[in-house]
Amino acid sequence: MNSNYEVHITSVAKTELLKIYNYIAYNLYAKDAAENLINKISEKVELLRNFPYIFAEVYDVYKRKTHYRRIVVKKYVILYSIDEDKKSVFIVHIYYGGSNYL
């Protein structure tokens, strides 16, 4: 059974999340919706501590070395990788689902 993985959020992913929050909260004037989205994302990411393989693997047409998995929360896609040797999960990007994220 998998347990006790550390979850790391890259600076790029943090910046992307902040942009998403700011857009929803201030451009769409929906601060409650922005906070709700952040909470839902946090809940899903928290699952990775014990179940890093719970979400689908992403098929990569470019055949990169790093294998990614994705979490879908509402219209957003969270890409992450797993380092089994370090028992760590790395959140690398958070995208709007309508964009080409690979």
Per-residue pLDDT band at 1 (split at 50, 70, 90):
very low
Provide the residue ranges of all domains of the chain, joining segments of one domain with +. Answer: 6-96
User: How high does pLDDT run on average in the chain?
Assistant: 91
pLDDT tens-digit map of 11-56 = 999 999 999 999 999 999 999 999 999 999 999 999 999 999 999 9
Q: What is the 3-state secondary structure (H, E, C) of 36-54?
A: HHHHHHHHHHHHCCCCCCC
What's the confidence (pLDDT) of residue 29?
Answer: 97
Pick the CATH number of 6-96 from 3.40.190.10, 3.30.70.100, 3.30.2310.20, 3.40.50.150: 3.30.2310.20
Other C-beta atoms lying within 10 Å of the C-beta of residue 34: 18
What's the confidence (pLDDT) of residue 59?
Answer: 78
The type of residue at 85 is: D
Q: Which two tokens stand for residue 17?
A: 């999340």
Q: Which residue has the tokens 């089994």?
A: 84
The DSSP symbol for 59 reads P
The DSSP symbol for 74 reads T
